[in-house]
Amino acid sequence: MGLKLYTGPILDVSDERELCVHAAECVRGMPEVFNVSERPWVNPTHADTPELADKLRAVVARCPHHALKIVEHTS
Ligand code: SF4
């Protein structure tokens, strides 16, 4: 499976499925971005304000095995 990158307007999220321990911090923390019934299941396009981007950073930081990571835009 490997690493997948999901792009959003303010930041991107990478996902390494092999590291996921299904703690559901992501889906509980920000269901508008992390929704396992949708494809793609990670959709950072919903984090489209600075406040929502900060919330997404906080939710991703709680991912226990670092399956999810924030990829900041460089420009
Ligand atoms: S928070 Fe991380 S470990 Fe938990 S379900 Fe989401 S991706 Fe998997």
Which residue minimizes the CA distance to atom 8 of ligand 1? 20
Ligand 1: nearest atom to the Cα of 62: 1
**Does residue 75 carry a pLDDT above 90?**
no
Q: Ligand 1: residues whose CB is within 6 Å? A: 20-26, 63-65, 67-68
| Residue 44: closest CA among 54, 29, 36, 32 | 32
The topology under which CATH files domain 3-72 is: Alpha-Beta Plaits (3.30.70)
The domain ranges of the chain are: 3-72
Distance CA 72, CA 64 (A): 20
Write the pLDDT tens digit of every residue in 11-66. 999 999 999 998 899 999 999 999 999 999 999 999 999 999 999 999 999 999 99
Of 6, 28, 56, 63, the residue with max ligand 1 atoms within 8 A of its CB, to mutate for a pocket test, comes to: 63
Whole-prediction pTM: 0.94
